[in-house]
Amino acid sequence: MITVILTMYNRPRTILQQMECLRAQTVPPTEIWLWKNQSTTNKEQQRYLSEVSRKHPDVKIMDSHHNFKYHGRFAMAQLARTEFVAVIDDDMFPDRKWFENCMASIQIKDGIMGGMGVVLLENEYTPHLKFGWYDQRNDQAERVDICCQSWFFRKKWLQYLWCEEPLSWENGEDIQFSYAAKTYGNINSYVPPHPISDTGLWASDNTIGNEYAVDMNSTWRMDDHLQIRNGICRQYIEKGWKLTRDGK
Output the furthest CA–CA distance in the chain (Å, rounded).
Answer: 50
pLDDT of residue 135: 74
DSSP code per residue over 11-62: -GGGHHHHHHHHHT-SS--SEEEEEE---TTHHHHHHHHHHHHHH-TT-EEE
pLDDT of residue 218: 47
Instruction: Find out whether the peptide bond into 127 is cis, omega within 30 degrees of 0.
Output: yes
Q: Report the domain count for the chain.
A: 1
- β-pairing, 189-191 vs 146-154, is unpaired
Regions of the chain with pLDDT less than 70: 209-223
Question: Which stretches of 96-246 are DSSP H helices?
Answer: 98-108, 158-161, 173-185, 206-213, 225-238
pLDDT of residue 227: 93
Neighbours of 237 (CB within 10 A): 17
Range of the domain at 151: 2-246
* Helix (DSSP H) and strand (DSSP E) numbers for the chain: 8, 9
pLDDT of residue 137: 81
φ/ψ of 182, rounded to 5, equals -70, -45
CB-CB contact of 26 with 16 (8 Å): no
pLDDT of residue 209: 58
Q: How many whole angstroms separate alpha carbon 205 and alpha carbon 21?
A: 9
CATH of residue 212? 3.90.550.10
Q: How many whole angstroms separate alpha carbon 237 and alpha carbon 248?
A: 14
